[in-house]
Structure 1
Amino acid sequence: MTRPKPNGSVRIILNLSAPLGMAVNEGIDNNQFPTSMSSTTKWLRVLRRAGKHAKMCKVDWSDAYKHVAVRSEDTDLQWFQWGGQAFKELCLIFGCVSSAGIFDRLAKIVLFIVVQKSRFREDMVCQHLDDCCAAAPFDSDALERYDATFTEVAINLGVKLAPRDDPEKSFGPAQSGIILGIRYDTVAWTWALPEEKLFRLLHLLRSFLQVDQCQQHLIWTAVGKLQHIKPLVPTGRFCIDHLIRANSFSLERTFMVPLCSGFKRQAWFWFSMLRLCSGSGPIPDPDLGLPPWAIDVFTDSAGGAWEGLKGAGACTPTWWAFSPWSAKINRGGMGPSNRKLGRMMSALELVGPLLVVAAGYQWCRNKPVRIWVDNAGSVFIWKKGYSSSCLLSSTLVKAIASVAAGLGSQVDLVKITRCSTPLADMADALSKCAFSRFREIAFGAGYTTLPLEPAWIPAPITAWLLDPVPDDFLGDKILNELAKRTLVLGVNC
C-alpha cells in the first residue's frame, strides 16, 4: 500500500506480515532488533531542564530507511509488484519488523558523534528513530553549535537530512515548533496539537460516542495518539483504562469491538479535555512532586485470613483510621479475573490511601499529602493511573484521585520499607488489628495526642468492601457522602 507524504509524493509500504503462514516477518525474531524510542514524557524533561524561553530544534532524516542496505542474500525476500511490474527493494523497508531496530542502531551512532563533537549535553536530546530533537536555555549558543555540527556530520557521513522548508519536519533553533507531533511554545509555555491532527482526533473520538461498536483499527489509532498526549493532560492517566482494554480486544483490524459505557465516558473526557487544553494548557513537569511541607501519612494492609481480624490502617502522630475486611475478603471470595480477593494485595494496599483522603477529609483538605505504602505494585499502579490486570486497583486509584480533587488536595503515593519507622510499624499493627501493639508503639514514640477512636469512614467505602467490584463511580459516591458534612468541589448537597 502507499501513504501520502506532505510534499505530494507517496511512500510505498510493504506488508511483510502477510500472507499468514508464509510471511517474511514470521521468520524474524523481533527481540534481536530492539528499538529505544523517545516519548512525550522524556521531551518534557528536556524542556524543564532548558527552562522557559528555551530554544528548540529538530533534525529529521530524509528517506531514513534508504540509508541502510540489506545484504544481497536477503534481498530476494523483498520482491514486490507495482503497476504490473516486479521490483526488488535493496534497502530497509517499511513493513519489516526488523527495519526499525536496525535503523535505530545507525541513528544512535550518528547522534553520538554529533553530541560528542558539538560538546552538547546528551540529556538535552531526544531521538525518536529519524527525528532528533534538542533544546537549550535561551541565553546559550549550545543549540546553534549542535545544529551546525549535525549538518556537518551528515554531509561527511553521507546522511541525507530533510530540508528546512517544512517546519513540521525540521527546523533550526526557535522558541516554537512541532516536536513528536505536538507544538510547543516556550515563551507562552504552552502546548497544542496541530490543528489538522486535533480535528482528526476529535472527529474520531466523537464518532465513538455515536455508535455501539467500531472497527478495532480505529481504536488502535485513537489509543496510540492518546497515549502520546496523556502526559500533557491533567488526570489523563486515570481516564484511559477502558480505552486500553478495548485496544487489545482483537488482533484483526476489521473486528467490530463493542463499546461499553466506560469506554464512552473516557472518550468524552478526552474529547472535552483536548478542546480545552490544546493551545492553552501549560507545559507540565512530569516529575513534579509534592512540596517539602507535604504531610506524611503511613498506611498498611494485611491479606485476607480465615482466623483473626485483618484490614487496612492509616496513621499520623495525631490521627488514625482503620477498616476491617469483609467476610468475603477474609474467606477467600473470588474477585475479577477469578482471583481470590484476600490475595489481591496491590488492590488491598490501596484501601489505606483511600481511607487517608476519605476518612481524613478535614485533615487533608487543601493540603499536599504524601502517603507511604508498603507495596511497590500499588505505587506503580498509582503512578500509571490504572492496572490492565487488576480492575479493583484501577477502581481504587481513580477513587483516590477523585476524592483528592474534590478536597483540593495534592496526593502522591510513595513506597516504604515495611515497619521501617514507628509510624510504619503502627500502620502494620493496625492492619493486623493489634491495637495494643499500636498504642504501645505510639506511646513509646511520644505520640500521646492520638484520639482513642478511629476516624469516621464514609459508608460507600464500607459498602464497597462488602462486595468489591469494579466501579468507576466509587470516588463520586464518596464525595457525595462527604458533601453531607463539608463543602466539596463540584458537589452540591
Structure 2
Amino acid sequence: MGPFLDPPFKNLRCSPLGVIPKQEKGTFRLIHDLSFPLGDSINAGIDESFTLVSYDSIDNVVQLVKKMGRGALMAKADIENAYRLLPIHPNDYELLGFTVQIGGSTYYFADMCLPMGLSMSCQTFERFSSALQWVMEFHYNAHLSHMIDDFFFIGPKNTNKCSESLQTFLDIASHLAVPIKSSKTVLPTNKITIYGIEVDSQDMIFRLPEDKVVKIRQALQDSLTRNKISFKQLQSLLGLLNFATLVVVPGRVFLRRLYDLTIGVKKNYYMIRLTNAAKADLKVWYRFMQSFNGRCMFSNDAWVGSDHIKLFSDAAQSKGYAAVLGSQWFYGSWPSGMESLNISVLELFPIVLTIEHWGHLLKNHKVLLLTDNEAIVFVINKSSSKCPLLMSLLRRLVAIAIKFNILIRAKHISGKSNLVADCLSRFQFQLARAWAPWLDAIPQQLDPTYLKI
C-alpha cells in the first residue's frame, strides 16, 4: 500500500530494497532486505522453525521416471509471481515498510503480499505448493513433483496420463486464480529441463546444461590459479559444484572440505586461503570436468554388495596385494618401500586399484565394498582422513567413482569371509583355487601407472 507522505502506521518498520538480475536477460528480482540491520532486523525476530524448508530435488524426478519406465512422457508448468500470490495479514503490514525518494520527497509504502527477502517466505509458499501437489496426488492420482513454483508431471508412454495431469493442474490453478507463466509450460515430451537439469526418459539419462559445464570449468580453472579467494567467490564456486552433484552424485562427498573453509566467515569480501587439501580436491573436480560432457546415466537403485558380485581385495604386509571380481583377479608385490607403510594405506591401495581397473564394469552402480579393516570402512564412508597418503588414495578412488558414476560405501566383514583375496595377497594360489575353482587361469595385468602412490 502507498505511497504516503507520512508513515501509515505508528510502528512502521522500513527496510531497504534491492534488485538482483534473473536468468532471463533484462529482468530483475525485487528483494526486500528484511535481514537489515544485522541483529535488529525483521528476520532476526523470526524463529528458525518458521524458516526451515525441504524441497523436492532432481532425485525425486529421476525416481518418477524410473517408476514410469523408459519413454515416459513428462510435462511442466510454472506459477507466475509465486510469492506475491499470498497476502500478508493486516496486523503485519507495519513490519514490511520501505521508502522511495521521488523528487526530493520521501514516500512511505507497506507491502501487502509475501515478499522476497522474508526468511519465512520459502516455507510459507512451499506449504501452498505442497497443498496443490496433495490435491493432484490424492484426488486425481497424478504423478508429480514440485520445487516452490515449478511443477513437474509424468505418465507412462502411450497414455494420456501426463497430459491429463497437466490439464487438471492448469484447471485447478485457473479456478483458484493462480496465474501460470504460459511461456514456461511444456507439453508432454521425452526430454525436458526441470529444476535446471535436462532429463531424457528415452535414453534414461540426465545432463547438466552445456553453459553450466563451461561455467564450472572456468570457475575451477580460475580458482586453481589463486592462493586466496573471496568468500563470495568461494560461495559461487560451491554453488556451481553443488549444482553439478545433482548429476555427478559421487562428487557430493568431495565438497565437505571446501565448505569447511567457509565456517565462521560472514563478510563477502573476506579472503579465504585455499589450503593444499582444498586445491587437491579442486584438481579432482577440474580433471573430471575437462572431459565431462554433462551426461550421466541414472544409477541403479539397489546397493550391490561386493559379496554378490564376488568383489574382494586384501593386503598382506609381508607379501603384497590382490583383488577378485567374479572370475577375474590380479595380484602384485608392493612397490619399493611401500611395505613399510601404515596397514590402512596398504589395505586401501588394492581397493583403489580394484575400482580403477574394473570401474567400467561397475558403471552406474551403488557398490557396497566389504573389507576386514574397520579403519578403512571409516575412511571410505567419511571420504576423509588426516593421513596425506590415505587422502591421496581417496582422491583417486573418488575421481574414478565420479568418472563412472559409481556410489561407494564400505562395510566391515570378518577375515574369514575374505579367504580368496587373502590367499592371493599371500601368493597362495593353489589354496585360493581350492576355495574358488572358478578363478581365471591367468591374472589380469594392471596399468603400471596405477601402481604409483
TM-score normalized with structure 2 length:
0.70
Indicate the SS of the match to 1:413: strand
1:78 and 2:96 are equivalent in the alignment: yes
Indicate the SS of the match to 1:219: helix
Report how far residue 221 of structure 1 moved.
1.9
Report how far residue 107 of structure 1 moved.
0.8
1:10 aligned residue (19, 28, 31): 28
Q: Which consecutive residues of structure 1, in runs of 5 or more, have no partner in the other structure?
A: 300-313, 320-328, 330-347, 417-422, 428-441, 457-484
Indicate the SS of the match to 2:297: coil
1:37 aligned residue (44, 55, 58): 55
Task: Say if 2:347 and 2:373, in contact at 8 Å, map to a contact too.
Answer: no
2:153 aligned residue (112, 128, 134): 134
**Partner residue of 2:78?**
60
Task: Say if 1:117 and 1:149, in contact at 8 Å, map to a contact too.
Answer: no
Query: Aligned-pair RMSD on alpha carbons?
Result: 4.7
**Partner residue of 1:144?**
163
1:105 and 2:103 are equivalent in the alignment: no
Cα distance between partner residues in 1 of 2:221 and 2:166: 41
Task: Say if 1:364 and 1:409, in contact at 8 Å, map to a contact too.
Answer: no
1:283 and 2:302 are equivalent in the alignment: no
Cα distance between partner residues in 1 of 2:421 and 2:220: 53
Task: Say if 1:40 and 1:228, in contact at 8 Å, map to a contact too.
Answer: no
Indicate the SS of the match to 1:2: strand
1:171 and 2:186 are equivalent in the alignment: yes
1:401 and 2:360 are equivalent in the alignment: no
**Partner residue of 1:183?**
198
Report how far residue 39 of structure 1 moved.
1.9
Cα distance between partner residues in 2 of 1:296 and 1:283: 23
Deviates more, 1:284-293 or 1:396-405: 396-405
Summarize deviations over 1:470-493 as a string: whole Å, max 9, x none.
Answer: xxxxxxxxxxxxxxx952375488
Report how far residue 88 of structure 1 moved.
1.1
What amino acid does structure 2 have at the position aligned with 1:229?
Answer: A
Report how far residue 13 of structure 1 moved.
0.4
Distance verdict in 2 for CA 1:249–1:154, change over 3 Å = same
Report how far residue 363 of structure 1 moved.
11
User: Aligned runs of 1:298-377 on 2, under 5 Å?
Assistant: 354=348, 357=351, 370-372=368-370
Cα distance between partner residues in 2 of 1:409 and 1:260: 27
| Number of residue pairs matched by the alignment | 394
What amino acid does structure 2 have at the position aligned with 1:91?
Answer: C
**Partner residue of 2:87?**
69
Deviates more, 1:359-368 or 1:79-88: 359-368
Cα distance between partner residues in 2 of 1:7 and 1:363: 47
Report how far residue 113 of structure 1 moved.
0.8
Report how far residue 78 of structure 1 moved.
0.8
Report how far residue 241 of structure 1 moved.
3.6
Cα distance between partner residues in 2 of 1:201 and 1:7: 20
Cα distance between partner residues in 2 of 1:182 and 1:400: 27
Cα distance between partner residues in 1 of 2:356 and 2:229: 45
Task: Say if 2:146 and 2:152, in contact at 8 Å, map to a contact too.
Answer: yes
What amino acid does structure 2 have at the position aligned with 1:161?
Answer: I
What amino acid does structure 2 have at the position aligned with 1:287?
Answer: D
What amino acid does structure 2 have at the position aligned with 1:2?
Answer: V
Larger strand proportion, structure 1 or 2?
Answer: 2
Cα distance between partner residues in 2 of 1:295 and 1:449: 10
1:117 aligned residue (103, 124, 139): 139
2:309 aligned residue (289, 294, 298): 294
What amino acid does structure 2 have at the position aligned with 1:3?
Answer: I
Identical-pair percentage:
20
Summarize deviations over 1:370-411 as a string: whole Å, max 9, x none.
Answer: 43469999879746x635xx6569838826826987xx9978
Task: Say if 1:114 and 1:153, in contact at 8 Å, map to a contact too.
Answer: no
Distance verdict in 2 for CA 1:149–1:455, change over 3 Å = farther
Report how far residue 200 of structure 1 moved.
3.7
Report how far residue 264 of structure 1 moved.
3.4
Cα distance between partner residues in 2 of 1:69 and 1:30: 21
User: Aligned runs of 1:336-485 on 2, under 5 Å?
Assistant: 354=348, 357=351, 370-372=368-370, 382=380, 386=383, 391=386, 395=391, 398=394, 401=397, 412-413=408-409, 415=411, 424=414, 426=416, 451=423
Report how far residue 450 of structure 1 moved.
7.3
What amino acid does structure 2 have at the position aligned with 1:245?
Answer: D
Report how far residue 15 of structure 1 moved.
1.7
Cα distance between partner residues in 2 of 1:210 and 1:296: 40
Cα distance between partner residues in 2 of 1:33 and 1:80: 22
1:487 and 2:446 are equivalent in the alignment: yes
Indicate the SS of the match to 1:267: helix
Q: Which consecutive residues of structure 2, in runs of 5 or more, have no partner in the other structure?
A: 1-17, 315-321, 331-341, 429-443
**Partner residue of 2:237?**
222
Task: Say if 1:294 and 1:367, in contact at 8 Å, map to a contact too.
Answer: no
What amino acid does structure 1 have at the position aligned with 2:201?
Answer: T
1:267 aligned residue (258, 279, 282): 282
Cα distance between partner residues in 2 of 1:377 and 1:59: 49
What amino acid does structure 2 have at the position aligned with 1:39?
Answer: S
Task: Say if 1:55 and 1:136, in contact at 8 Å, map to a contact too.
Answer: yes
Task: Say if 2:51 and 2:120, in contact at 8 Å, map to a contact too.
Answer: yes
Task: Say if 1:48 and 1:285, in contact at 8 Å, map to a contact too.
Answer: no
What amino acid does structure 1 have at the position aligned with 2:172?
Answer: V
1:95 aligned residue (107, 117, 131): 117
Distance verdict in 2 for CA 1:249–1:176, change over 3 Å = farther
Indicate the SS of the match to 2:98: strand
TM-score normalized with structure 1 length:
0.65
Cα distance between partner residues in 2 of 1:351 and 1:17: 49
Task: Say if 2:248 and 2:405, in contact at 8 Å, map to a contact too.
Answer: no
Report how far residue 454 of structure 1 moved.
5.3
Cα distance between partner residues in 2 of 1:374 and 1:145: 54
Task: Say if 2:80 and 2:181, in contact at 8 Å, map to a contact too.
Answer: yes
